[in-house]
């Protein structure tokens, strides 16, 4: 135990015995919270981003680059808010994205490859882990959620592309398929059929973010960073609300209805 840790326990007025029990409670809560964070982060992402990060042939230069970080930062910001406001622990974003990544790989192996016979190359996931660690680290450095949102939010969106491109890029090598040039990602998606996902259902490369010739990815990345700022603020606030205790004022009639306002009854009598 460091000097600082002892100082924390002293200020918290914890005897060694209480500190030991408190530590046991910490372990139990961390384990339970890990499952909670994992499932909430995963479900949130599935509902809002879904296909763009399921399949390699959905990872386009526009929507994948924008949508994946924008959706991921929601739960990251909410959990960061909860852990920071209650405990000054700058781990919410990292824990959210790390546990989400872990659960994604479990599902990829178990369900996609194991039960549905899809090859892993078709369902390689991306991750916002670098952005999440940066988000927590910037919160530590600035001690300000507002500055973290403004700087970290932009960085979260921006860093997603290069931090994933280091392993996604090889899937965009050109190959020839039936006399047409296509990307390896397209070829993998074509070769391993998904009965319920026709080609036209992909929403790729549509819209106006392509006006900078071949720089569409970085335009999308900057746009993603811009949107991430607002998402961060919104979900930081949501996390703050979630960890605040609020009481709803109850009127005399409501108390009477539940028989708990004896004083009111006496006054009425």
Partner 1 sequence: MILKFKKIILACLAVAAFLISVFLPQTAAAHGERATEPSIRTRSIHWYDLTWSTEKIAVNDTVTMQGKFRLMNDWPDAVAQPSLVFLSTGGPSAVLTRVETYINGLPAQQSFKKMELGRDYDFKIVMKGRVPGNWHLHPVMNVHNAGPIIGPGAWVTVEGNMADFKAPIKTMQGLQIDDTENYGVARAQMWQAGYALVAVAWLLWWLRRPLLISRWRVLQKGREDLLVTRADDKVAAGVVVLLLVVVIVGYIKINAEFPQLVPLQGSTVYTEPLPEDTGGVAIKLKRAEYDVPGRSMRLSVEMTNNTDQPLGIGEFTTANLRFINKMLPTAVAAIDPKYPKELMPANGLVVDSNKPLAPGEKRMVMLDTTDVAWEVERLVSFLSNVDSRTGGLIFFYDPLGKRYISEVSGSILPVFKKTI
The string of DSSP letters for 141-156 reads HH--HHHIIIIIHHHH
- 121 touches partner 1 by CB under 8 A: yes
Residue 153, Cβ density class (10 Å: 0-12 exposed, 13-18 middle, ≥19 buried)? buried
Give the x-and-dash track for 169-188 against partner 1 (CB under 8 A).
Answer: xxxxxxxxxxxxxxxxxxxx
Q: Is 131 exposed, middle or buried (0-12, 13-18, 19+ CB in 10 A)?
A: buried
Binding-residue pattern over the window 233 to 252 for partner 1, x denoting contact by CB under 8 A: --------------------
Tokens describing residue 227: 């949107």
Give the number of residues in contact with partner 1, rule: CB under 8 A.
97
Q: Which is nearer to partner 1, 170 or 251 (CB)?
A: 170
Q: Segment contacting partner 1 (CB under 8 A): 42-50, 131-139, 218-226, 246-254?
A: 131-139
Nearest approach in angstroms of CB 16 to partner 1 is: 11
| 71 vs 159, beta carbon nearer partner 1 | 159
User: Is residue 11 a contact residue for partner 1 (CB under 8 A)?
Assistant: yes
Separation between Cα atoms, residue 264 and residue 162, nearest integer Å = 66
User: In angstroms, what CA-CA distances link 188 with 62, 118, 173?
Assistant: 20, 10, 12
- Cβ proximity to partner 1: between 18 and 263 the closer is 18
7 binds partner 1 (CB under 8 A): yes
Kindly state the smallest distance separating residue 67's Cβ from partner 1, in Å: 15
Question: How far is the C-alpha of 66 from the C-alpha of 180, rounded, in Å?
Answer: 28
Q: Which is nearer to partner 1, 106 or 175 (CB)?
A: 175
Instruction: Name which position in 43, 141, 146, 254 contacts partner 1 (CB under 8 A).
Output: 141
Residue 113, judged by CB atoms within 10 A of its CB (0-12, 13-18, 19+), counts as middle
Q: Does 95 help bind partner 1 (rule: CB under 8 A)?
A: yes
Containing H/E element for 180? strand 180-183
Residue nearer to partner 1 on the CB measure, 44 or 92: 92
Q: Interface residues for partner 1 in 57-86 (CB under 8 A)?
A: 57-61, 86
Which x/- pattern, by CB under 8 A, does the window 147-166 give for partner 1? ------------x--xx-xx
Among 32, 36, 50, 87, binds partner 1 (CB under 8 A): 87
Contact 80, 136 (CB under 8 A): yes
Host H or E run for residue 21: helix 16-48
Contact present, 77 and 235 (Cβ < 8 Å): yes
Which window, 3-11, 45-53, 71-79, 254-262, contacts partner 1 (CB under 8 A)? 3-11
Establish if 41 lies at the interface with partner 1 (CB under 8 A): no
User: How much is the CA Rg of the chain, to the nearest whole Å?
Assistant: 24
By the rule CB under 8 A, 14 interacts with partner 1: yes
């Amino acid at each position: 135990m460091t000097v600082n840790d002892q100082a924390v326990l002293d200020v918290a007025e914890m005897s060694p015995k209480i500190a030991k029990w408190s530590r046991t409670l910490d372990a139990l809560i961390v384990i339970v919270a890990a499952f909670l964070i994992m499932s909430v982060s995963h479900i949130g992402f599935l509902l809002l981003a879904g296909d763009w990060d399921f399949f390699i042939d959905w990872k386009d230069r526009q929507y994948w680059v924008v949508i994946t970080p924008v959706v991921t930062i929601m739960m990251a910001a909410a959990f960061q808010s909860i852990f920071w406001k209650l405990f000054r622990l700058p781990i919410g974003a990292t824990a959210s994205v790390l546990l989400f990544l872990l659960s994604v790989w479990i599902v990829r192996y178990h369900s996609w490859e194991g039960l549905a016979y899809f090859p892993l190359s078709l369902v390689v996931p991306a991750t916002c882990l670098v952005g999440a660690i940066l988000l927590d680290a910037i919160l530590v450095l600035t001690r300000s959620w507002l500055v973290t949102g403004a700087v970290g939010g932009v960085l979260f969106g921006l860093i997603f592309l290069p931090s994933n491109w280091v392993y996604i890029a090889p899937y965009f090598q050109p190959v020839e398929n039936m006399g047409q040039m296509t990307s390896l990602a397209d070829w993998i998606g074509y070769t391993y059929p998904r009965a319920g996902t026709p080609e036209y259902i992909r929403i790729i490369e549509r819209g106006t973010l392509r006006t900078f010739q071949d720089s569409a990815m970085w335009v999308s990345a900057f746009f993603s960073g811009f949107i991430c700022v607002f998402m961060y603020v919104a979900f930081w606030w949501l996390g703050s609300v979630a960890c605040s205790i609020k009481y709803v004022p109850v009127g005399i009639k409501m108390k009477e209805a539940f028989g708990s306002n004896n004083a009111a009854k006496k006054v009425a009598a």
